[in-house]
């Protein structure tokens, strides 16, 4: 089996990172997969870097906290191999499923571990929010998405680097990557995995990251198929106009008929803007990136190896 670089972004994960790295090494060695494990210490204030190094990982350090997505970009550029696997440092993803995902990456551009189980379901609010974003992301991509932002996935550096200028540097790196792959007709395959209980505490700001994820999905639609956004905006006016028209016919209420005409005219204007956006949108989706020899850290500061 081909070599793989495991990239793990970590921020204040001293409690879990040693066990995560150790378990990954055991699983990959047992499967006979040549590998390296890169831990990107994202400006941790605890002993995350030392614990990762003691477990046998190569540690790349950011001088300050720069975000989940930027840490992944740093690790991807620093990786020795083209095949990249990412996972989290908190022990929530099952290491024993990684060889299966790696094997499938020979057939697909990206293989994603779709989370299942009691630790993934969460509260009712989380489930409702997840359902809403799933509907919106599937509407954007035009196909079913089992898990848009799973943190365990395998892909190839030569594919993902084309989209680096488009991919979020924050927590929504995985959301952006999934959408960009699908909207550029790359094959994304989902494999169900059992999401596990995390070690330590979560650093996710749910309100901020939910708004950011929504922004990213809307931006993706506007970039690749803007008419879909305008259809969503026009649809309520169409329904409103239909309601006014029914009221006008049933009650001989001619002002309601005028309101129906105004609502439908508004819908027409919105759709007209959508068609205009489609006509002027750029036709080229892929982004040129530097060659491998000129690759460097995606931010302003250079990472430091430990």
Q: Coil, strand or helix: which one is 259?
A: helix
Q: How many CB atoms lie within 10 A of CB 192?
A: 13
For 42, 61, 63, 124, 249, the CA distances from 306, given in Å and listed in that order, are 13, 7, 12, 42, 76
Together in a domain, 159 and 88 = yes
What is the C-alpha separation between 122 and 37, in angstroms, rounded?
30
pLDDT at 206: 62
pLDDT at 86 over 90: yes
Together in a domain, 275 and 180 = no
Q: How many domains does the chain have?
A: 2
pLDDT at 234 over 70: yes
Together in a domain, 265 and 137 = no
pLDDT at 302: 38
Q: Indicate the pLDDT class of residue 126, thresholds 50, 70 and 90.
A: confident
Classify strands 58-62 and 304-305 as parallel, antiparallel or unpaired: antiparallel
Q: What is the pTM of this model?
A: 0.79
Q: Which domain holds residue 270?
A: 227-280
* 249 in a structural domain: yes
* 306 in a structural domain: no
DSSP label of 6: E
Together in a domain, 123 and 244 = no
User: Of the candidates 210, 161, 163, which has an alpha carbon nearest to the alpha carbon of residue 182?
Assistant: 163
Together in a domain, 186 and 247 = no
Together in a domain, 66 and 117 = yes
pLDDT at 278: 74
User: Of the candidates 113, 106, 117, 149, which has an alpha carbon nearest to the alpha carbon of residue 130?
Assistant: 149
Looking up tokens 């759709």 gives 271
Together in a domain, 160 and 276 = no
**Per-residue pLDDT tens over the stretch 141-162:** 889 999 988 999 999 999 999 9
Supply 146's token pair: 């089992």
Under a CB-based contact definition with an 8 Å cutoff, are residues 120 and 146 in contact? no
* 192 in a structural domain: yes
Together in a domain, 58 and 113 = yes
């Amino acid at each position: 089996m081909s070599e793989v670089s495991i990239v793990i972004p970590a921020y204040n994960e001293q409690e879990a990172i040693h066990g995560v790295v150790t378990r990954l090494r055991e699983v990959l060695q047992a499967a006979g997969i040549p590998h390296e494990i890169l831990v990107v210490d994202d400006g941790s204030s605890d002993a995350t870097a030392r614990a990762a190094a003691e477990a046998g990982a190569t540690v790349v350090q950011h001088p300050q906290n720069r975000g989940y997505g930027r840490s992944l970009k740093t690790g991807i550029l620093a990786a020795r191999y083209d095949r990249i696997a990412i996972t989290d440092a908190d022990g929530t993803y099952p290491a024993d499923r990684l060889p299966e995902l790696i094997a499938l990456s020979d057939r697909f551009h990206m293989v994603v571990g779709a989370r299942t189980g009691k630790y993934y379901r969460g509260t009712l609010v989380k489930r409702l929010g997840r359902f809403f974003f799933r509907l919106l992301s599937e509407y954007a991509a035009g196909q079913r998405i089992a898990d848009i932002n799973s943190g365990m996935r395998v892909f190839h550096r030569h594919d993902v680097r084309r989209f680096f200028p488009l991919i979020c540097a924050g927590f929504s790196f995985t959301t952006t990557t999934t959408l960009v792959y699908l909207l550029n007709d790359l094959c994304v395959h989902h494999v169900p995995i059992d999401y596990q209980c995390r070690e330590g505490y979560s650093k996710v700001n749910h309100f901020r990251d939910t708004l950011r994820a929504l922004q990213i999905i809307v931006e993706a639609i506007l970039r690749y198929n803007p008419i879909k956004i305008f259809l969503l905006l026009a649809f309520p006016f169409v329904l409103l106009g239909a309601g006014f028209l029914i009221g006008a016919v049933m009650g001989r209420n001619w002002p309601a008929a005028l309101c129906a005409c105004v609502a439908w005219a508004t819908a027409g204007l919105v759709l007209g803007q959508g068609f205009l956006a489609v006509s002027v949108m750029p036709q080229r989706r892929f982004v040129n990136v530097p060659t491998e020899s000129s690759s460097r850290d995606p931010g302003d500061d250079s990472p430091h190896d430990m």
